Amino acid sequence: MFRIVMLLSTLLLSIPLLAATEFQLKQGETSTEFSYLRPPQPPLSFSLENAKMQSQHSIRKKYSAELAELHVRHQLLLQSVKLQQRGVKIRLSPSNLPLSVTVSGADLTQVANIRNQLAATQQQAYQGYLQRDYLYLLTTPLGESYVIPDHVRIMRENLPVLQPVAASFVSLYGRNNIRKIAMQLAYWLQQIPYQNLSDRRESAGAGFLTPVQMLQANQGDCDSKAVVFATVLRNIFPKLGIAIIYFNDHAVIAAQIPAIDNELTVDLKGASYLVLDPTGPAQLPPGKLNPPYDVQLKSRQFSYRLF
């Protein structure tokens, strides 16, 4: 996210940066210990089971338009064989050309029926490819669609993996003050080194790291940090409404936490959500976004998904 990095450099005088965190990782036979010294806050440590972490390493592959088309083409070929009937010709475009299907025949009703079935097969095959590789087709308010990692599914599957992280925060801050928990969780993630995210319309989430990958690498982009934030927060507050807000080159979290003063909120499906940005390196408190995202939020220039 080159744009936000440039903007942050102009805001350092007004928004404090967090003190450097000392990070240590110790891998044992059955678990890996993560330790963070982060003055003036108390040290944070937790252990994750190696078996659970390993199960999350290869769940998501990078999106490939070429592989997606090959998968869809194969499914269409199989379905074409099943639907082939006397007097009907079904042809797929050559593999060196963009995928298209032609159905011809004398019986127009029969042709239309087969064409509709093949169109449904094409759509189902594409969705199947996305689901297999933990991907999701996001539609913007302007009607544009592009592929991103399936953050919601990844968050849900990582709930048991990151439960020890949630337990560590509860042991430090309790679970009675949701604002304090959310703020401290955001500050912890803001201290983890930031990794740029390209415009999601072009990158298909290529830089996204799963929660386990991000914690082990001790770095991550905004999407990666947002998923960790949502996963830990949901572990602590299972019934809390949480959403991920997508701008073109940024992502933040919104949660049903009461706002105070002039904190930024957003209405999603009739409910008010407080906006939180755990990206860093600036120490942004709850209810505050850097420009231009605050303006884009108010003018609803974003997409979102509910966790």
Residue 111 maps to a domain: yes
Closest CA to 219 of 196, 197, 192: 192
53 and 155 housed in the same domain: yes
28 and 157 housed in the same domain: yes
In this prediction, residue 3 carries a pLDDT of 33
Can you read off the two tokens belonging to residue 188? 């912890």
Residue 12 maps to a domain: yes
CATH code of the domain containing 208: 3.10.620
Quickly state the pLDDT bin for 60 (edges 50, 70, 90): low
In this prediction, residue 20 carries a pLDDT of 63
Residue 121 maps to a domain: yes
205 and 279 housed in the same domain: yes
Quickly state the pLDDT bin for 201 (edges 50, 70, 90): low
Neighbours of 173 (CB within 10 A): 17
Provide the domain limits for residue 30: 2-61+149-306
Q: Report the share of the chain in percent with pLDDT over 70.
A: 90
Closest CA to 279 of 183, 179, 169, 186: 186
Quickly state the pLDDT bin for 10 (edges 50, 70, 90): very low
Residue with tokens 């475009």: 93
Sign of the CA dihedral running 229, 232, 236, 242: positive
Closest CA to 204 of 149, 268, 280: 149
Q: pLDDT at residue 53 above 80?
A: yes
**Pick from 98, 132, 166: which residue ends a domain?**
132
Q: pLDDT at residue 209 above 50?
A: yes
**Pick from 76, 99, 132: which residue ends a domain?**
132
Residue with tokens 């659970």: 52
Give the pLDDT confidence of 160-177 residue by residue, as tens digits.
999 999 999 999 999 999
pTM score, two decimals? Answer: 0.86
In this prediction, residue 196 carries a pLDDT of 73
Whether 234 and 243 have beta carbons less than 8 Å apart is answered as no
Whether 167 and 236 have beta carbons less than 8 Å apart is answered as no
* Half-sphere exposure in the Cβ direction for 243 (13 Å, CA): 20
In this prediction, residue 16 carries a pLDDT of 45
In this prediction, residue 147 carries a pLDDT of 94
188 and 39 housed in the same domain: yes
Largest Cα–Cα separation, the chain: 79
Q: Which long-range contacts (CB under 8 A, 24 or more apart) does 7-11 make?
A: 7/290, 7/291, 7/292, 8/281, 8/282, 8/290, 11/282, 11/290
Residue with tokens 């959500």: 273
Residue 190 maps to a domain: yes
Angle 193-247-207 (CA atoms, 0-180°, nearest 5)? 40
Give the pLDDT confidence of 87-134 residue by residue, as tens digits.
899 999 999 899 999 999 989 999 999 999 999 999 999 999 999 999
Under DSSP, the state recorded for 301 is: -
Helix (H) or strand (E) holding 305: strand 303-306
189 and 51 housed in the same domain: yes
Strand partners, 165: none
Q: Strands 22-27 and 31-37, how do they pair?
A: antiparallel
Look up residue 273 and give its amino acid. Answer: Y
In this prediction, residue 205 carries a pLDDT of 56
194 and 264 housed in the same domain: yes
In this prediction, residue 198 carries a pLDDT of 58
272 and 245 housed in the same domain: yes
Residue 140 maps to a domain: no
115 and 238 housed in the same domain: no
161 and 100 housed in the same domain: no
159 and 245 housed in the same domain: yes
Distance between CA 90 and CA 160 in Å, rounded? Answer: 48
Residue 144 maps to a domain: no
Residue with tokens 């209405």: 267
Q: pLDDT at residue 216 above 50?
A: yes
Residue 166 maps to a domain: yes
55 and 82 housed in the same domain: no
In this prediction, residue 195 carries a pLDDT of 81
Residue 139 maps to a domain: no
Number of domain units in the chain? 2
Of the ranges 80-89, 205-214, 284-293, the best mean pLDDT one = 284-293
124 and 261 housed in the same domain: no
Give the pLDDT confidence of 242-255 residue by residue, as tens digits.
999 999 999 999 99
Q: pLDDT at residue 13 above 60?
A: no
Residue with tokens 């999407």: 223
Mean pLDDT for the stretch of residues 252-260: 97
